[in-house]
Amino acid sequence: MSGCDTWPGDRTMEAMASPPSALTRDAPDTPAAAAPRPRHRLLVLDVVRGVAVAGILFANVATVLGVFVQWDDGVPPLSHTLQQLLVQQRFFPVFSLLFGVGFGMLLASAERRVARPRLVLLRRLATLGVLGALHQLLQPGEALLVYAIIGIAVLLPVSFLPRPWRTRITAAAGLVLTAVAAPVGGMVLIPGLFLLGLALAEVDLPRRAEESVRPGALLALAAGAAVAPFVVLQLLSPETAGFDAVSSVAGLLSGMALVGVLAVLLHTPLRGLLEAAFAPLGRMALTNYVGASVIGVLVTWPLYAPLWGLLGRDIVLIGSTEMFAIWGGCVLLLVVQSLVSRWWLARCGQGPLERLWRWATWSGARGRDGA
């Protein structure tokens, strides 16, 4: 890792789906050294995570900047329609599912490598909680703190189940909780998607999707789910009873469809383009997510009092033209983040917040042999 200092425990393998899912360097001085090591990263996780980070930026930018697109005579503006059609409630479920996958990968790694694997998991979640609490100052209502709390309350207890039963229980409970929460959407989806992600990791589905897919059936399913929001917007209006519930379900289906489509596209000639554009964003997802909030605060800092996240601020009404300009800024920011991430990873191998998170997770962990 030329150009970067080495932190204590830096060479321990990272098996969490939050970046990175695996490292390729040898680790002769860590508890992980005795265990078999993956030969390559799972590109499908990096790309899907990168796309989710990009989508979440578009979903959150209005909240981060404190703007709202005003309606004229009760008619939704074009920007609002596009937001509902392409962004709203699409990417947050994907990120939640990936978090559960990551927890399952870390659980499997910790069970093989250390004497007290649940302590490693607790450190991971507690560190995320601290980071999330700090991030609340920049983006009130953000999800990292909630992820940490629900992870400790839901994922950590089920990790004690014997493996065969753990897979079945998490899959069944995840399906039920997700189905019940789907009409509500938002953070209510987190427990079910966490459990579903853990179940997917237990059956090693991400690696199997990396190695091979059945594009015909998967694309047909994905296409059916992808048209759901279009049908909603055509048949229902925002004033229709039950619109929010139907829209939330459509968003969830579209998000899951996106995961399937990306898994298929990674087995086509588009693999190189997707890897170049989104894998760097995905490998530094935590740094880029928090970094976008920092940039948003810096942009609006001259307009609002310091620590506006604690003191509150007024919402600025804008038009669709201004919203499109903000989205253009999002595209520019993502291009810059992707290029900077590629440059940083080539020199350091891992993002700064990812490195801190990994160190806090594995620091002091003792191998199964007591070393």
Q: Is residue 159 one of the residues assigned to a domain?
A: yes
Q: Is residue 61 one of the residues assigned to a domain?
A: yes
Q: Is residue 83 one of the residues assigned to a domain?
A: yes
Q: Is residue 52 one of the residues assigned to a domain?
A: yes
Query: Which pTM value belongs to this model?
Result: 0.83
In angstroms, rounded to a whole number, what is the distance separating the alpha carbons of residues 121 and 100?
Answer: 12
pLDDT of residue 247: 78
Q: Is residue 246 one of the residues assigned to a domain?
A: yes
In angstroms, rounded to a whole number, what is the distance separating the alpha carbons of residues 39 and 22?
Answer: 9
Taking Cα atoms as reference points, which of 104, 87, 274 lies closest to residue 200? 104
Q: Is residue 29 one of the residues assigned to a domain?
A: no
pLDDT of residue 16: 36
pLDDT of residue 61: 86
Torsion sign, CA atoms 30, 44, 260, 99: positive
Number of structural domains the chain divides into: 1
Region of residue 307 (phi > 0: left; psi between -120 and 50: alpha; otherwise: beta): left
Q: Is residue 336 one of the residues assigned to a domain?
A: yes
pLDDT of residue 78: 79
End-to-end CA distance of the chain: 25
Structure tokens at 34: 């005795």
Burial of 304 (0-12, 13-18, 19+ CB in 10 A): middle
DSSP string spanning 236-259? --TTSTTHHHHHHHHHHHHHHHHH
Region of residue 12 (phi > 0: left; psi between -120 and 50: alpha; otherwise: beta): beta
Place of tokens 């928090």: 290
Q: Domain of residue 333: give its range.
A: 40-359
Radius of gyration of the chain (CA): 21
Taking Cα atoms as reference points, which of 251, 241, 338, 246 lies closest to residue 291? 338
pLDDT of residue 236: 57
Taking Cα atoms as reference points, which of 281, 231, 271 lies closest to residue 251? 231
In angstroms, rounded to a whole number, what is the distance separating the alpha carbons of residues 358 and 95?
Answer: 19
Q: How far is CA 62 from CA 65, 113, 134, 160, 319, in A?
A: 5, 43, 20, 41, 12
**b/e code 246-270 from CB counts within 10 Å (16+ = b):** bbbbbbbbbbbbbbbbbbbbbeeee
Q: Is residue 286 one of the residues assigned to a domain?
A: yes
Per-residue pLDDT tens digits of the chain, which is 371 residues long: 445 654 434 433 333 333 333 333 333 333 433 333 444 688 999 999 999 999 999 988 888 777 788 877 767 787 777 777 778 778 999 999 999 999 999 999 999 888 889 999 999 999 999 999 999 888 888 899 999 999 999 999 999 999 889 999 999 999 999 999 998 888 999 999 999 999 999 999 888 888 876 666 666 666 666 666 666 655 555 666 566 787 788 888 888 888 888 888 888 899 999 999 999 999 999 999 999 988 887 877 655 544 444 445 567 777 888 889 889 999 999 999 999 999 999 999 999 999 999 999 988 766 665 55
In angstroms, rounded to a whole number, what is the distance separating the alpha carbons of residues 88 and 108?
Answer: 33
Structure tokens at 22: 């695996």
pLDDT of residue 38: 43
Q: Which amino acid is at 72?
A: D
